[in-house]
Each structure stands twice: as structure tokens, then as C-alpha cells.
Structure 1
């Protein structure tokens, strides 16, 4: 099977290549260095579109997000359909649901709050219009991904645990869903193998509190730390760094039962396994 992959230098694209390089033949494409008009899709069975403009420290205009996250994949999908490619797998995000949901599933109404989330939802809608009996459109919505060299908040927590022995994040009772890079690649692969269309919600089975996450990181680093609770720390953080506070204390729990039933799958790794693989540096 031959897969055309965009964003192969990004974390997810590179990880999928690494995990399945012996199973598939890959054709890589870079939006930065190549033009869509020059694409050759001879004998391509499926397209895995991982490329995207994600959250930036300096926010871009919506027009920029629209150009990269909507126009490019829709144009690529139309070319693919014209060239008899059978499947288009689009990596979306749970940001399409917005920031106010505490618990969500495949049927939760989307209400994106960021340009990133809005552009991804718009792309989903346009791509699904192309779905038919000869062209399968599959949408995968992951939460924050963790694993070896993964960017994001979990990597920041790992660095914090490595540097400090006392961390003021004890007894946080939130519930937050993440996904191991291994579980995400497995789900994407199942979507490709089964040629299933529609929307798929990717997540580890068990949500974690921030305190539990730190404990698992600490356990696998084989390091002794003290989780403490400082009076007014949470309140102060909420005032000074509201977005950071939300990531540490807020809940975002995913129930992807419908996806697992639709694909008839079980995640190969539980949360403890996923954290262990991340800390040990195993792809």
C-alpha cells in the first residue's frame, strides 16, 4: 500500500512514518517547499494529511489559518479524488469543540474558540462534502499528544520534574484526557486499514489529574519529589496566568466509545505504559 503523507517533518507525521515504514511505501510532501499543483499521485492508495498551522506564540490572522488549514487540504483532497485516490485521512483536533466543554464525545456540538479550531472545523465540513462510495474521507480528532520528543505541556511538566524536587501542584482533582503517540498512530492505521469514513475521536482510555500525571512522570524518572499545596497559589496563578491555570487545573475528559465501537478496537497502551514509553524515549 502506498501512502502520500503531508507534514512528515512534524511530530505526528514523523512518528507515523517511523512506526509503519516497514508496512507501507510513503510519498512525502512539504507545503513549505513544494506546490500542490506539482503533486504526482500515481498509484497512491491513501493520503494522510498531518500538515497544519497550529497555535503560535504570536497569533496569525484567521486568513493565514484558513489558507493553510482549509484551502490546502481541500485542494489536495479534490486533486486526490480526481486522480482516483481511495481515501483522505485528515488530522483535526479537539479544539473544534471549544474551550468550555468539561466532558465530550463524538456527538458533542462543536463551538471552536480559536482561529486554529475554527479553521480545522471548516476544513472538516468541506472535506466531508467530498466523501462518497469511491472516495473515503476520514477525520481524526486527537487531544494533546504525548510521547518521545512531543512538544506541549506534558513535556514542560517533565522538564519541571527534572529540575525541581518540590512542586506546588498536590491534590489537583481535575480530569484531563491525552493520547499517547503510539495509540494515536495505531488508531490512524486502523482507520486506513478499515477504510472507514466519518469522524473519529482519539484518546487514551483513562483521563489523568495533573497531580497523577506528575506522579507517573516522577515514577518513571525514578526521582523523589514532594508535591505540596501552597495556600493561594492556585488563585494567584488564575489571576496572573489564566490560560496556564486552565491547563493545570481545568478538566477536559474525552469519551470515545463510539469511535472504538465503530473501529472495533482497543488502545494497545494504557496511560501508565504511554508515560513509561515517553520517559524511556521509545517511539
Structure 2
């Protein structure tokens, strides 16, 4: 059996590979990490510098036709994690080139080798930015190049599945994914709290749907290895109910033994500061107009389907930050 992970050198892929190797790998199984970058190189998870023993690393670009030598089996699984995702941070065309061409080339590869099981990591970005609660049945209305490219990629995977009723496709739409090696929104939030420069932006009740990376990869394992199903299913991968920014901040502070008063700053004032500081390097600390705007808009995503599908959560929300802190030797969240 082959576990073929496109984008396996990234944040989620690194955690998925560790889980598969530690808990799922049998004698004749193989794990393939297919990525344009390898562990230890610029552009992958900071701090992950060594390749994992027993994993075959193959440098390929999903924007191009995919092929490599391996022995296919009837039980092979593809995990398509490859994406250009950080926003802001890339020119518009980069999202479309990687996310759409990547979906086409991965599904063509599956078609060529008769692989009938794919898990695709999409995003909550296809829902678009709005305060209303979103379920898996909500009509997607993406309003960013990233969200549009991810929705198109979902459709490409669904077309692949529709060609054969026996094919299995799971699409996961994670909220903010956090944990060791993230170096994204949650890491910046922690650093801002620690540095006394985080302030609530106009409100404390902004909802930010999120999921711990170890919980996400365990659900991916549960869905693809512990279940047999036919057809297509979509799961929002977020905690239910989604937590607001005040709850998130208080949980981080408690888990990392910090004592901070977090002030409330008028939204207009912070946006004005961001417009001045952003071009001067404010992006490094999250003071950038696009990121400030994201702070002010809820990502109100329902995780009820995930909560009721039979999967048993391994961590409470509070325990996720304690576990992450322990993974970093209690020196911070990074």
C-alpha cells in the first residue's frame, strides 16, 4: 500500500507523515512525500531539517505533469495537500497556477495509475468573508484569488470522482490550522501577546474558526484509513462551536503562563496605523492592512458535521495549546 502525499514537506504534511509512520505503516507500506521543496530547505516548516527515515522524498512540481517510479496497489491513497496558500503574500496568478494546475495534474496521476482514494485539503476561503454561519451546504462565494482557486480545485477533484462511482473523495475545509511549525496566524498572535503589542481590533467577539494540526491529521487518518465509502463528502474542519478571539487569547495566555491585559483599540485607528507601518515592514509582525482587515471579520464556520460524524476528538481546545507549548519545550509557541 502506498501513501502518496503531495505537499508533504509543508506544515500539515509533516504532521501527517509522522502520524502515518508511527501508527499506520505496515511492513509492505510506503510513504511518498512529493513536493517542490525538501525538509530543511527554505520555504518548508521552520525547524524541520531532517528527513524522516522510511519516507521516500521526491522533488516534483505539481504545476507540471506528475510521474515517478513506484509499484501501485489497489489500496493506494493520495493526500493532496499541495497549495500556495498564504494570503497576503503571493501574486494573484500564483494561487491559480499551483492550486488549479496542481489539482488537474494530481487527478490525472490518480487516473493513470488507477488510484481510487483522494483526500484534498481545501480551505474555508471558498465561503468568502462574511459574518453569517457557514455549513458545508452553504453556497461558496469566494472573494479572493486564493478562495477562488481552491473552489475551482475542489470542482476538478469532484469531476475526477464523478468519472467512476467507486472512487472515494474527501474534501476537508480547515479553519486556521495551528500547532508546532505553523508560523502563521496563531504564532503571530502568540508573539504579539508576548510582546504586548496585540490589541483587540474594534471588537472582542470576532469568531475565528480553527483546528489543531494534530487533530486535523488524526481526522484525515480516520476518514481515509478507518472508513470505506463511495462518492464525495465535504467536512469543515473546525471546532464546534467556533471560538471568538477573546476566548482564543485567554486560552493562549493561560496555557503559556502569561499574564497580560489586552486592550481594545478602535478599528479605524489600527487600520490607519497599518496603512503607514505595513509598507515599512509591518507584515513581519502582522501589522498589515490585509491582515488587520482579516482580524475584524469573523470566520464563522460550523464544525457540527465533523463533531457528529463518529470521529472522537483527542484534545480539548485548552489542551491543544498546552500540548503545543510542551512540544516547544515550554519556550513559546513556534
Q: What is the TM-score with the length of structure 1 in the denominator? A: 0.88
Kept after mapping to 1: 8 A contact 2:199/2:264: yes
* 2:71 maps to which of 42, 58, 65: 42
CA distance in 1, matches of 2:322, 2:172: 25
Segment drifting more, 177-186 vs 206-215: 206-215
| Structure 2 residue 143 is the aligned partner of structure 1 residue 119 | no
> Once the two structures are superposed, what CA deviation does each residue of 1:12-39 show, in whole Å capped at 9, x if it has no partner?
0011111221213311212453264432
The 1:97–1:34 alpha-carbon spacing in structure 2 relative to 1, beyond 3 Å, is: same
The 1:247–1:278 alpha-carbon spacing in structure 2 relative to 1, beyond 3 Å, is: farther
Q: Which residue of 2 aligns with 1:148?
A: 180
Q: Which residue of 1 aligns with 2:210?
A: 178
> Once the two structures are superposed, what CA deviation does each residue of 1:93-142 show, in whole Å capped at 9, x if it has no partner?
00011112432110111011111111111111111011133322221111
Q: Which residue of 2 aligns with 1:30?
A: 35
* 2:304 maps to which of 250, 257, 260: 257
CA distance in 1, matches of 2:262, 2:84: 36
Task: Structure 2 unaligned segments of length 5 or more: list them.
Answer: 38-58, 275-288, 329-333
SS at 1:208's partner residue?
coil
Shift of 1:180: 0.6
SS at 1:130's partner residue?
helix
CA distance in 2, matches of 1:174, 1:16: 30
Q: How many pairs does the alignment contain?
A: 278
Kept after mapping to 2: 8 A contact 1:141/1:202: yes
Kept after mapping to 2: 8 A contact 1:7/1:49: yes
SS at 1:119's partner residue?
helix
| Structure 2 residue 272 is the aligned partner of structure 1 residue 243 | no
CA distance in 2, matches of 1:168, 1:67: 36
SS at 1:137's partner residue?
strand
> Once the two structures are superposed, what CA deviation does each residue of 1:129-159 show, in whole Å capped at 9, x if it has no partner?
1113332222111111011121222111111
Shift of 1:82: 2.6
Kept after mapping to 2: 8 A contact 1:148/1:277: no
SS at 2:9's partner residue?
coil
Kept after mapping to 2: 8 A contact 1:144/1:179: yes
Shift of 1:186: 1.4
CA distance in 2, matches of 1:102, 1:240: 28
Kept after mapping to 2: 8 A contact 1:4/1:46: yes
What pairs with 1:167-246 in structure 2 (closer than 5 Å)? 168-169=199-200, 172-193=204-225, 194-196=227-229, 197-230=232-265, 233-241=266-274, 242-246=289-293
> Once the two structures are superposed, what CA deviation does each residue of 1:43-73 show, in whole Å capped at 9, x if it has no partner?
35100011111135443233x3222111222
Kept after mapping to 2: 8 A contact 1:210/1:249: no
Specify which structure has the bigger relative contact order, considering alpha-carbon pairs within 8 angstroms and separated by 6 or more residues: 1
> Once the two structures are superposed, what CA deviation does each residue of 1:165-207 show, in whole Å capped at 9, x if it has no partner?
x754397122221111011111211221214432121112242
Kept after mapping to 1: 8 A contact 2:241/2:302: no
The 1:173–1:61 alpha-carbon spacing in structure 2 relative to 1, beyond 3 Å, is: closer
CA distance in 1, matches of 2:111, 2:307: 27
Q: Which residue of 2 aligns with 1:274?
A: 320
Kept after mapping to 2: 8 A contact 1:205/1:267: no
CA distance in 1, matches of 2:192, 2:224: 37
Kept after mapping to 2: 8 A contact 1:183/1:204: no
